Amino acid sequence: MTASNWTVPPFGLGTFRLKDQVVRDSVRNALELGYRVIDTAQGYDNEGEIGKTIADSGVKRDELFITTKIKPDNYSADKLVPSLRESLDKLGVDAVDLTLIHWPAPRGPVSAEEYLGALADAHSQGLTRQIGVSNFTIALLKQAREVLGDLPIATNQVEIHPYLQNRKLADFARQEGIHLTSYMTLSVGKVMEDDVMKDIAGAHDATPAQVALAWAMGLGYSVIPSSTKREHLESNMKALDLKLSEEDMQRIAALDGQGERLANPASVAPDWD
């Protein structure tokens, strides 16, 4: 399967908090193992390292699906497109496959109409093949649809894991045909210590991480787990072949509400659903 066949791929590599040689090693290992989806962001400060690693890998551009995100400092109409061009230069590509608004920044100086309009302009200029959002609530998704009109929202990337299942948002997105991408699917390692997750993993000769990723993909979400260890990158890929039973899915569903929201920066976070 090549990137050209995908809308938003089900599985890829996240690079949040990975910088310098650490991100180079992670991306290099992932590409060698067969990963073809790389998720980054302007705010991660690692686009340049990722671009160099991709260039050195020999993997063809049309085999890759690359996502980046616009940081709030670049939301204004005079900054968004130039900042994306800078991201493209760092990544060494003519266009990315997907560009997201990273945070809605409801109390920020730039309105949603302005930054979504600028994102649509970036799309019309061919700088990004698809556009989307991240950390948007139901109300914000409705607003985004009004602003963007017929231009599709490819995904809403949000925190979803067994302990924060975001069901109200997920139900709305499903009804409206808006794809969700789950980040922090492993709840920063909490799933590895969970008795239910370990029990399900044992029954499938799998790891709790594989179970969490398979659960999210089973609900129709894309996942972008990160790791600095090659063996974990390789292990995570096996979640693509793991099929959980309905009983497994129900047991994981019952874990909802047992964990706090992990990503909630006061300056840019919305009033969550």
Residues noted as catalytic: 44
CB atoms under 10 Å from CB of 34, counted, come to 10
Q: Which residue has tokens 């686009």? A: 47
196 touches 251 (CB < 8 A): yes
State CA 25 to chain mean position distance.
Answer: 20
210 touches 238 (CB < 8 A): yes
240 DSSP 8-state letter: G
Instruction: Calculate ∠ Cα 153-155-158, nearest 5°.
Output: 130
272 touches 261 (CB < 8 A): yes
| 102 known member of a binding site | yes
Biggest CA-to-CA distance, the chain: 54
Q: Which residue, 80, 177, 73, 178, is CA-closest to 120?
A: 80
DSSP H or E stretch at residue 37: strand 37-39
Cα torsion angle, 84, 173, 258, 254, sign: negative
Instruction: Calculate ∠ Cα 154-159-160, nearest 5°.
Output: 95
Residue positions forming the annotated binding site for substrate: 102
